[in-house]
Amino acid sequence: MKNGNIRKRLGFALAGWRLAYAQERSLRTHVLFAIAALIALVVMQPPAIWWALVAVVSGLVIATELMNTALERLTDHLHPAIHPSIKAVKDIAAAAVLVASCAALVVAVFLFVEFLRGN
């Protein structure tokens, strides 16, 4: 499976996406914000660099949320009982999502300020 053809590997990735999207409210929220950012870009029509920056931070937020979800699933499977070390792992992974989300928010604020200034 590891070295399967590209179609199989893409299929695994898409199956993971569908599963996470169906079961994780936080992921759906982040996707909603990414769509809102895309709509804002269409309305504002900023230079291409802003499109790239928004795409990168949006992808970063969604990727960290997916990693957080995978890590939570794995830790819950391996150690279903509440344990301080497992809680710490989950909290740290959630903090990674928070950091990525804050970075995206900073980009959004600067984009909005730039739009208001008319540049």
Q: Dump the DSSP string for 48-93.
A: HHHHHHHHHHHHHHHHHHHHHHHHHHHHHHH--S--HHHHHHHHHH
8 Å CB contact between 31 and 58: no
**CA pair distance 108, 38, nearest whole angstrom:** 11
The residue from 24, 65, 72, 114 that is catalytic is 65
65 an active-site residue? yes
**CA pair distance 66, 69, nearest whole angstrom:** 5
First to last CA, the chain: 50
Active site residues: 65
